[in-house]
Structure 1
């Protein structure tokens, strides 16, 4: 009996983000496409060699992408919007779909590439969404009435040929191309205009998938991995039936299909999946743990069952002995039809722990990045094959036991405080109606008060000062003086423009999560722990490894200094507990709710200290509240319960006349509006300008009771909005929400913008508010 090892996908950014830098150089015109392709080919080669060296027997192909794997499928399938179509496909088409432009559309780079500029090829980029509940993004496929599926992009077949050429005689390896499945692809696609129903396109789409599989078979491919992660959602009957139809068609091709489901249980789809005519199934045994035994019992023993007990989503070492215990029943039933893999693609974790030389050694001993996870897969398979590395298993067992007792991870004071959480009132002392009356008298703000979301342009001088402070060429006193000078400048600019509620601009903050994580116990940061978010955008998530607490105030001195520079109201700025949780690698030895509450208690201390320091407007940003929703709607209520409660833990201790704000990034609130209201923030600011205030419909249907600041201009665009545009948007909002409860503000923070566009945009915003006040007074007089 031989149990096979395989992998579902590997990070494609390179050991030191080589792909990022090559992409950005190409987009600027500093690299040719041939040079970009050479970097990509080297990354693919190294990834294959790393997996061979780790003992992976079935290696994924087509897991490489310049931008994202869904965009790869769109170009492969010919799903290219009309504004980007051309007679012959080229790589720049994909970049136009992702970014709106490509190097060949830009006059500045054309001489270097030896071609003429063609601005007519440029257009607006495709929409971007999160890949299920990960922090990875994909470009949403666009389906039009005239969309016709056809194999357009042949890079898949070229990369297969490239890999097969590396296969030496006698090597116990093979290759497995990875495709986004046809049902998932249609489900994620967007029908544009009056396009025909998505599922009516399935037969035509399957014909192209069959052609793809046939071509792969002709190249010598035996197994193809087809990812259908929507099997983790709660699907209607017609989408379930689509799986029966799709795989009946695809089973007629000469390749063996490994259907891959991950991120959740199969739920009600267990019977469906067990009866699909595929050669094998991959199942996420971690996120689907509660259904693992039922799947093992029900799945046919004459098919391949691949199980993932090594976490592809998080950075902790696997409890190898626990994994082996979970796999015993599968080994007994499936024998050599059992395969071992990570739970999902390793795209979501950093590449290599070995290069991290500044982490606490004890903490580092608990971690495993992508390269180390491959070794864990091999260790598990070897043990199941009767070739257990007993020393490694014993060391792993000791490590897991030590971790449970570690003083680095467990803090008795934090745990004692958390144990008293049930005694903490989560409600403000008075209802909003009473608080609003007190706050109105205290702050004496005009109708349509103006404010911003918190950050102002992070200039080159600010970033340079931060780098110099970090590398020691700037003393702490010098750094503080430099940041205070920036704060003074920001206060003067806001006063000159005429903004009603000021912010300090956050010059001292590198990132809205990292800044706070660096000051909280229980957080750690890597040097090279980058993961791809999309294209060249890489992020380095913090690690929440232990009990979280706040050793000292984090923002109070900056806010106090800012308040000392103005007689106007200064708003304090914090990042909320759910967002701190969502945008980090989170410890896996306790419920996420517990960790979130620890963060909320630390933030509660900061809120109360700000209030004592004289800051009586405090904004707690919860950009990621909706992102945290579980994939199955039946699980939403429990998540929303603890997510909302964590916000109330943070805010409930302040006086009634202290005004609590929160900000949420682009979100569709309709289906969670009751939870948003339950947060009981005095003011919520949201991004609405791109939707032309359509997102406010949710607040009308629900009759949202508190104050709202719908964003009146899109900060992601360098365009300066006119007074008329912002007046029109606010008038539209005032038709839905009483004017007395409306604020006027940008969509989001201004960190990424320059002052040349920020100041005139804010000046226009203030003029818009003044015009609206005059209009409203006139309406009252004539009423």
Structure 2
């Protein structure tokens, strides 16, 4: 990738109001059948257009074709019962009704490959596709079959690797694994979390990324953040492990959070997808504010390894706000590019 400081997004963009209820996670579709298929493609096309128009260099699907970043993948797997549901605590933070593992998990056919091919047909820019990471998948289910979080994680890692290889063949340049659970289950991250993540990314030629954030801007997450004190040092646990891993890019939250910037030093040598846009606020950052955040990060990451991004997905935000934030990200990055030697 020749662009210095290529901009990207960490995850979702708001869906159009005609496709799903706005500003809501797990929002049900407003269309069905062939109309839903067509509507999802139209929404994806618009998401790409807006990213082009607003100066995003690494384009994603904005998760327009899926209801949720974890459960939509799980819905397509064998061994999971969506009728038999249990209430579980998600990331030790909030309760949710989730499906149940009732047998050996399997991937009977590709999940996102057709959508990725459609994304590839819509842009000449590099594209990124996000998959849920093994640990975060486990945390969004109730297990009646394996009796071991680790055993289930290895099974999911194998399935994710199958999907990732087909996404790569469909033309995806960066495959991102979303692992917000890495900020919560620190012992598991050390014992098997990074190892199963590496298994999910095994044998890929595409670049690989892991996204670890403090969550969407929903009340359960903002309430949890309020308990974390003046400094959020959770990355201190996972970053040294990731620095030694085979993963190419580490995506992290930074803007308006209490993450000490110098923790980025712990992943020196990796590419850093730096969250310079706050997804928990409807205030649109100024380009100068974005540039300042990125400028500070350059103390700890070389410019050729910095990818300006958002803290997390923006699905719960008003669409106008999210698009304004994309423009601010690109404009702020352009300010900083102009300061750097050519």
TM-score by length of 2: 0.86
Please say if residues 278 and 311 of structure 2, whose CA atoms lie closer than 8 Å, have aligned partners that are also in contact: yes
8 Å Cα contact 2:63-2:69 kept in structure 1:
no
CA, structure 1 residues 590+527, in 2 after alignment: closer, same or farther (shift >3 Å)? closer
1:653 to 184, 199, 203: 203
CA distance, structure 2, for counterparts of residue 693 and residue 590 of structure 1: 35
> Does residue 548 of the first structure (1) align with residue 98 of the second (2)?
no
Compute the displacement of 1:546 (Å). 2.1
Cα deviation digits, residues 244-301 of structure 1 (max 9, x gap): xxxxxxxxxxxxxxxxxxxxxxxxxxxxxxxxxxxxxxxxxxxxxxxxxxxxxxxxxx
Of the three residues 297, 318, 324, the one matched with 1:754 is 318
How far is the alpha carbon of 1:527 from its aligned partner? Answer: 7.3
Aligned ranges for residues 428-439 of structure 1 at < 5 Å? none
User: Residues of 1 paired with 2:40 and 2:166: CA distance?
Assistant: 21
Q: CA deviation at 1:646?
A: 0.7
RMSD value over aligned CA atoms?
2.3
- Structure-1 residue corresponding to 2:44: 487
Give unmatched runs, 5+ long, in structure 2: 22-26, 215-232
Tell me if 1:558 matches 2:115.
yes
**1:646-698, CA deviations, whole angstroms, 9 ceiling, x for partnerless residues?**
1111111112xx1111210136211332222233321111111123651x322
1:589 Cα deviation from its structure 2 partner: 4.4
Distance 1:621 1:703, change over 3 A: closer
Q: Name the residue aligned to 1:714.
A: 278
Q: Where does residue 604 of structure 1 map in the other structure? A: 161
Match of 1:37 in 2: none
Contact 2:90 2:139 in 1 (8 A): no
Deviation at 1:594, TM superposition (A): 1.2
How far 1:584 sits from its partner (Å)?
1.7
The verdict on how the C-alpha distance between 1:547 and 1:763 changes in structure 2, with shifts beyond 3 A counting, is same
Structure 2 partner of 1:669: 235
| Alignment partners' CA distance in 1, 2:177 and 2:243 | 15
**Structure 1: gaps spanning 5 or more residues:** 1-442, 630-635
Determine the structure 1 residue equivalent to 2:247: 681
Once the two structures are superposed, residues 458-495 of structure 1 have per-residue CA deviations (whole angstroms, 9 ceiling, x without a partner) of 343222695455xxxx32x2211010000111111111
4+ long deviations beyond 6 Å: none
Whichever of the two has the greater Rg, that structure is 1
Quote the residue 1:334 is aligned against: none
**Aligned 8 A contact 1:491 1:503 in 2:** yes
Report deviation, 1:532.
7.2
In structure 2, how many angstroms separate the alpha carbons of the residues matched to 1:765 and 1:565?
22
Tell me the equivalent position of 2:125.
568
1:616 match: 173
Q: Secondary structure at the match of 2:63?
A: coil
Q: Distance in 2 between matches of 1:601 and 1:461?
A: 36
Matched, 1:496 2:49: no
Secondary structure of residue in 2 paired with 1:743 = strand
Distance in 1 (CA, whole Å) between partners of 2:151 and 2:287 is 46
CA distance in 1, matches of 2:167, 2:248: 17
In the alignment, structure 1 residue 641 sits paired with structure 2 residue 191: yes
Equivalences for 1:435-514 in 2 at 5 Å? 443-444=1-2, 446-463=3-20, 466-468=28-30, 474-475=32-33, 477-514=34-71
Q: Specify the SS of the correspondent of 1:512.
A: coil
Greater RCO, 1 or 2 (C-alpha within 8 Å, sep 6+): 2
Q: 1:769 to 1:594 in 2, by over 3 A?
A: same
Distance 1:742 1:521 in 2: 39
Alignment of 1:110-259 (within 5 A): none
Q: Secondary structure at the match of 2:192?
A: helix
- Give how far 1:733 is off: 0.6
Mapping of 1:96-111 within 5 angstroms? none
Higher-strand-fraction structure: 2
CA distance in 1 between counterparts of 2:84 and 2:66 reads 18
Tell me the residue number matched to 1:690: 256
Residue 765 of structure 1 and its aligned partner are, at CA, apart by 1.0
Mapped contact 1:547–1:595 kept (Cα < 8 A): no
Give the superposition deviation at 1:533. 6.9
